[in-house]
Amino acid sequence: MSIDNSLKAFKQAQNLIPGGVNSPVRAFSSVGGTPLFIAEGDGAYLIDIDGNRYIDFVQSWGPLLFGHRDEAIESAVIEAVKHGLSFGAPTQAESDLAELVVSMFDSIDKIRFVSSGTEAVMSAIRLARGYTGRDDIVKFTGCYHGHSDSLLVQAGSGAATFGNPSSPGVPADFTKHTLLAEYNNIESVKKCFKDSSEIACVIIEPIAGNMGLVPADKEFLHELRELCDANGTLLIFDEVMSGFRASVNGAESITGVKPDIVTLGKVIGGGMPVGAFGARAEIMAKLSPEGPVYQAGTLSGNPVAMAAGLAAISKLKANAQVISVLNQRAKRLVEGMKKEAESFGIPMQIDTRGSMFGFFFNEKPVKNFADASNSDAELFAKFHSKMLQEGFYFACSLYETGFISTAVTDEMIEDTIKASAKVFKEITNG
């Protein structure tokens, strides 16, 4: 398999763009090798600029629930483009998508659209602070909520991959209001509430996907809800990744815990840049121009992006059963790979939620970031590059999650398991 064109393109990009990439996770640094430059996507496949085809388990880091070039989404975008790219004025599509999301999330009466997950979370935090009149926030080590200053503290995803979980360039003054707790450890949250009576909100990925896939225990989330209620603190579920992936109706529908504010991204834009945050009407009423908390965006609610989101979310609502079908495939995949790994004496921890899947080369169950960090990173790197050579595109860091799209068939899952057996054999034979 030749990747000469990718090698050449990467060299050029490195001279022009820091690290050759526009988001650090794409750089392949922690697994070695060269990032593949992509020419096109086709259903379940990615095709690189050397013409190699890969079954894609990254799906643009989550947004493409229906795979590449889904017909309904593609036609909606083409139709929208014919009417103009942007107006900076309200359009019907914004209310249509808002109505759809409100109908799917119990905790959302009103929603505002932005252009990325980072923006959604940053705005949700401001709203929580404006609503409560408090400054402090609690976040969990290993959770990633985008790259805004106050949240880039012990963050997961690329920040963990590159060993800068708290970034230089963020003044200590900006993060002094960010208190840290350990995921799935309620005592650590209680300590935060002991240390501060000024906590505006606790933000959590209810199904963490940025330290690998590490779902929160239900009991932990229930206790978190109780602690927030007892202290007049808002609970924010960051579902930028898990929203519409783990469940059609949000993590609240599978955990029984209702958040005060939900942040969304990825799938909600069908592959276009969209983020959103929503809450009950009383909280959203604090937002400008209804209320005093300012938040804005030139391209927010962009008509082409709204058309893509509307097509994706309508399709999901009409075919809600796809989540359990994808979950069966996700389970088959990780259970199959685990069986193969263990037959070669390689311990593996696995989990799935809807179309999200995760695996760690680790002897012990993974419940938090410290556990995830104890996984075998060297083995992961070998697995990643050998699977790539076999034609399977997995996320290039152990701190990321895998995604199955509806374009991935049962046969492709079986092929992936077979390839993993070959790879485990090669790895253990040195």
Ligand X SMILES: Cc1ncc(COP(=O)(O)O)c(C=O)c1O
Ligand Y SMILES: N[C@H](C=O)CCC(=O)O
Residue numbers annotated as active site = 144, 238, 266
Provide the minimum distance between the beta carbon of 118 and ligand Y in the complex, in angstroms, as a whole number. 9
Question: Looking at this protein, which amino acid is placed at residue 184?
Answer: N
Q: How far apart are CA 84 and CA 61, in angstroms?
A: 28
Q: How far apart are CA 428 and CA 341, in angstroms?
A: 10
DSSP 219: H
Using the rule CB under 6 A, is 58 a contact of ligand Y?
no
Cβ proximity of 144 and 155 under 8 Å: yes
DSSP 113: E
CB nearer ligand X, residue 214 or residue 341:
214
Using the rule CB under 6 A, is 400 a contact of ligand Y?
yes
CB nearer ligand Y, residue 193 or residue 277:
277
What is the size of the binding site for ligand Y (CB under 6 A)? 9
Among ligand Y, ligand X, none, the one that 25 touches (CB under a kind-dependent 5 to 8 A) is ligand Y
Binding site for ligand X (CB under 6 A): 116-118, 121, 144-146, 205, 209-210, 238, 240-241, 265, 275
CB nearer ligand Y, residue 243 or residue 336:
243
CB nearer ligand Y, residue 98 or residue 121:
121
Question: Looking at this protein, which amino acid is placed at residue 37?
Answer: F
2, 12, 14, 23: residue in contact with ligand Y (rule CB under 6 A)? 23
Q: How far apart are CA 66 and CA 77, in angstroms?
A: 15
CB nearer ligand Y, residue 196 or residue 210:
210
Residue 214, classed as helix, strand or coil, is: strand
Using the rule CB under 6 A, is 25 a contact of ligand Y?
yes
Using the rule CB under 6 A, is 238 a contact of ligand Y?
no
* Sheet containing strand 356-360, strands side by side: 349-353, 356-360, 402-403
Among ligand Y, ligand X, none, the one that 158 touches (CB under a kind-dependent 5 to 8 A) is ligand Y
Joined tokens for residue 31: 């697994």
Provide the minimum distance between the beta carbon of 421 and ligand Y in the complex, in angstroms, as a whole number. 28
Provide the minimum distance between the beta carbon of 280 and ligand X in the complex, in angstroms, as a whole number. 21
10, 45, 61, 383: residue in contact with ligand Y (rule CB under 6 A)? 61
Provide the minimum distance between the beta carbon of 266 and ligand Y in the complex, in angstroms, as a whole number. 7
Using the rule CB under 6 A, is 350 a contact of ligand Y?
no
Provide the minimum distance between the beta carbon of 346 and ligand X in the complex, in angstroms, as a whole number. 28
The per-residue DSSP string of 254-305 comes to HH----SEEEE-GGGGBTBS-EEEEE-HHHHTTBTTTSSB----TTTT-HHH
Provide the minimum distance between the beta carbon of 160 and ligand X in the complex, in angstroms, as a whole number. 12
Among ligand X, ligand Y, none, the one that 238 touches (CB under a kind-dependent 5 to 8 A) is ligand X
- Name the phi and psi angles at 403, rounded to 5: -130, 135
CB nearer ligand Y, residue 116 or residue 184:
116
- The set of residues, in sequence order, having a beta carbon less than 8 Å from that of 420 and lying 6+ positions away, is 336, 337, 340, 341, 383, 387
Among ligand X, ligand Y, none, the one that 400 touches (CB under a kind-dependent 5 to 8 A) is ligand Y
- Name the phi and psi angles at 181, rounded to 5: -130, 165
Using the rule CB under 6 A, is 57 a contact of ligand Y?
no
Provide the minimum distance between the beta carbon of 58 and ligand Y in the complex, in angstroms, as a whole number. 9
Cβ proximity of 430 and 424 under 8 Å: no
DSSP 85: S
Per the DSSP assignment, residues forming a β-bridge with 264 are 239, 276
Q: How far apart are CA 106 and CA 418, in angstroms?
A: 41
Contact set for ligand Y, span 156-215 (CB under 6 A): 157-158, 210
Measured from each CB, the residue nearest to ligand X is 117
Cβ proximity of 160 and 369 under 8 Å: yes
Q: Are strands 136-140 and 178-181 parallel, antiparallel or unpaired?
A: parallel
CB nearer ligand X, residue 15 or residue 22:
22
End-to-end alpha carbon distance in the chain = 21
Contact residues: ligand Y, CB under 6 A: 23, 25, 61, 144, 157-158, 210, 241, 400
